[in-house]
């Protein structure tokens, strides 16, 4: 039986850019683009109409920005993953997008396969940050002048799970790599979140890198 494709809304105010992104998303064979928007208002209308699995959003769009669309999705409580796909790695955009609750932030300079993987990961409920963005965020953290409170010590196994998480692996893939069950992986992640005082994978990876527990991705 064929796997049901991931349903995606694509929003970007440049038609040529939308066409290029749509083509390689569809060519993956795992994604169906069910609607395209050229501004934030259209994106919201399409999300309401189609309730997609993932909304891929540019930041700078007429009427409403991608960040505003993310914030609206969260306010509505819709189970729609959001992926910011942008040319901007500026601190204000990055921090505003993360604060709004986006599931992912990837640069348009990423390889097409990386963007496809980001959409798939977001659909699975994972947080995705482009390595360029992680480094940018780390500079912001380092320049904040606010030392991080020491977390509770992570166990050797939790550090192994965290390292695999930073590679963008699913719970199942982490379990296979470490020889443990999906449920055990999820339990380790809950402990990691609690000890690092974070709420998701992206925050855990950034926090661990900040504390020197984890090397930044290449």
Q: For residue 202, is pLDDT > 90?
A: no
Cβ-proximal residues to 179 (8 Å cutoff; 6+ apart), any chain:
none
Q: Is 188 or 166 the better-scoring residue by pLDDT?
A: 188
- pLDDT of the residue at 136: 64
Q: What is the value of pTM for the model shown? A: 0.67
- pLDDT of the residue at 68: 92
Domains of the chain: 6-141 (3.40.50.2300), 147-210 (1.10.10.10)
Which pLDDT band holds residue 43 (cuts at 50, 70, 90)?
A: very high
Average pLDDT, integer, range 175-200: 88
- pLDDT of the residue at 218: 44
- Please list the alpha-helical segments (H only) found in 126-212: 131-142, 156-166, 171-178, 182-196, 201-210
Q: Is 49 or 3 the better-scoring residue by pLDDT?
A: 49
- Percent pLDDT > 90 in the chain is 27
> Cα–Cα distance between 98 and 105 in angstroms, integer?
8
- pLDDT of the residue at 44: 95
> For 54-95, how does the pLDDT look when each residue is reduced to its tens digit (9 = 90+)?
999 998 899 999 989 998 998 888 889 899 988 876 767 777
For the chain, what is the mean pLDDT?
82
> For 138-187, how does the pLDDT look when each residue is reduced to its tens digit (9 = 90+)?
665 555 545 455 567 888 899 888 887 776 667 787 888 899 998 899 89
Sheet of 54-57: strand order equals 31-37, 6-11, 54-57, 81-86, 104-107, 128-129
């Amino acid at each position: 039986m064929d796997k049901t494709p991931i349903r995606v809304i694509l929003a970007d105010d440049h038609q040529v850019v939308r066409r290029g992104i749509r083509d390689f998303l569809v060519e993956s064979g795992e994604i169906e683009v069910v609607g395209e928007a050229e501004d934030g208002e259209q994106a919201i209308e399409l999300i309401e109409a189609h309730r997609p699995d993932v909304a891929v959003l540019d930041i700078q769009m007429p009427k409403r920005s991608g960040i505003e669309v993310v914030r609206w999705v969260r306010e509505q409580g819709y189970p729609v993953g959001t992926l910011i796909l942008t040319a901007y790695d500026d601190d204000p955009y990055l921090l505003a997008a993360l604060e709004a609750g986006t599931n992912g932030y990837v640069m348009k300079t990423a390889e097409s396969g990386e963007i496809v993987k980001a959409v798939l990961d977001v659909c699975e409920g994972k947080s995705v940050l482009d390595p360029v963005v992680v480094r940018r965020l780390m500079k912001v953290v380092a320049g904040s002048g606010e030392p991080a409170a020491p977390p509770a010590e992570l166990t050797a196994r939790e550090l192994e799970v965290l390292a695999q998480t930073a590679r963008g692996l699913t719970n199942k893939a982490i379990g296979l790599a470490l020889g443990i069950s999906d449920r055990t992986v999820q339990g380790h992640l809950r402990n990691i979140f609690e000890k690092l005082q974070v709420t998701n994978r992206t925050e855990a990876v950034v926090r661990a890198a900040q504390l020197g527990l984890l090397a930044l991705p290449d």
